[in-house]
Amino acid sequence: MHSSTPVTGPRVQAHDTAGHVLVVHIDRPPVNALSLELMRSLRDLFATLVDNYPNARCVVLTGVGKNFSAGADVKELAERTTEIQMARSVVSRGLFDAVRRCPIPVIAAVNGPAIGAGVVVASCCDIVVASEAATFALPEVLVGVMGGARHMARLVPDKMVRYLALTGRRVDARTLWRFGGIHEITAPDRLMPEVLALAEDIAKNSPTAVALMKEAINLTEDMPLTEGYRVEQLFTTLASSMADSKEASKAFLEKRAPVWSAR
């Protein structure tokens, strides 16, 4: 959490000429604190991303400068009337949901500290890759409020969630990596090259199959095994009936790269 002055906001950059990989920059110097205005901008960006960037097949979310995001703006927290707190709750919930439900896979490239709401945003992404400079914390208890412990449970087990939420302490990327919350740790100067290569691998796959896979995972996340697998089988049947599935089989037999018909 940090106090800062809003300057720009989220910026979107097409990584490749086809526009299949988009890089979204959280850009609010000095530490990318998540003001109410910035959270609204990010929420709206992810909620409309498919319509505004129809060629996109994978998204990379990262911070500008040395921070991924320092979390909530302390200046706003100091003014926390009931109305402001309710507004923040609604907007932050909308942001986290928009990232998680974005039909396009989202990779968090955590370039530095991801604190409070910042680590929650990362937890809503499909894949998390972190720089050796990254740190993570749920420091809300230090300023008398509650944080995103429920979302943090996507990255680490229950006892680590409790440790972070009750102490407010920071941990390094290797700690989260040990629990499977981070997929890879890189040197700071290798973070974006590694993440962009990963995004390009995802973008090569059938957009239809990838979107269905992500939706199935989201839907079954809190389901019992039997019910969840039944839903996954339904999605598999749906995917098998689509043009991209037939093209994949044909391309394999013809020993060539598939040409996807969908976005």
CATH number at 151 reads 3.90.226.10
In a domain, 234, yes or no: yes
CB atoms within 10 A of CB 92: 21
Q: Are residues 125 and 233 in the same domain?
A: no
Q: Are residues 57 and 142 in the same domain?
A: yes
Across 7-21, average pLDDT: 77
Q: Are residues 176 and 230 in the same domain?
A: no
Q: Give the model's pLDDT for residue 78.
A: 66
In a domain, 28, yes or no: yes
Q: Are residues 19 and 144 in the same domain?
A: yes
Q: Are residues 126 and 193 in the same domain?
A: yes
In a domain, 135, yes or no: yes
Of 203, 227, 244, the last residue of a domain is 203
The answer to whether 120 and 156 are in contact (CB under 8 A) is no
- Annotate 163-182 with DSSP letters as a single string: HHHHH---EEHHHHHHTTS-
Q: Give the model's pLDDT for residue 8.
A: 61
In a domain, 74, yes or no: yes
Q: How many domains does the chain have?
A: 2
Q: Are residues 113 and 217 in the same domain?
A: no
Q: Are residues 107 and 213 in the same domain?
A: no
In a domain, 186, yes or no: yes
Crossing angle for the helix pair 225-240 and 207-220, to the nearest 10 degrees: 160
Q: Are residues 127 and 222 in the same domain?
A: no
**What does the block give as tokens for 219?**
């839907």
9 backbone dihedrals φ, ψ, rounded to 5°: 145, -150
Give the span between the Cα atoms of 220 and 144, in whole angstroms.
Answer: 34
Which segments within 111-155 are labelled E, that is strand? 114-115, 127-131, 135-137
Which of 9-18, 172-181, 182-191, 196-205 has the weakest average pLDDT?
9-18
Which segments within 202-257 are labelled E, that is strand? none
Of 203, 225, 242, the last residue of a domain is 203
Domain interval for residue 50: 9-203
In a domain, 262, yes or no: no
Q: Are residues 147 and 227 in the same domain?
A: no
Instruction: List, for residues 79-138, the tens digit of each pLDDT value.
Output: 667 777 788 889 999 999 999 999 999 999 999 999 999 999 999 999 999 999 999 999
Q: Are residues 178 and 211 in the same domain?
A: no
Q: Are residues 173 and 240 in the same domain?
A: no
Whether the pLDDT of residue 5 is over 50: the answer is no
The answer to whether 203 and 20 are in contact (CB under 8 A) is yes
Of 100, 123, 122, nearest in space to 111 by CA: 122
The catalytic residues are 140
Q: Give the model's pLDDT for residue 77.
A: 67
CA distances from 188 to 5, 36, 52, 112, 242 (A): 26, 29, 31, 9, 41
Q: Are residues 127 and 218 in the same domain?
A: no
In a domain, 259, yes or no: no
Per DSSP, the chain holds a count of helices (H) and strands (E) of 12, 9
In a domain, 148, yes or no: yes
Q: Which letter does DSSP use for residue 68 in this model? A: S
- Give the model's confidence band at 215: pLDDT under 50 very low, under 70 low, under 90 confident, else very high: very high
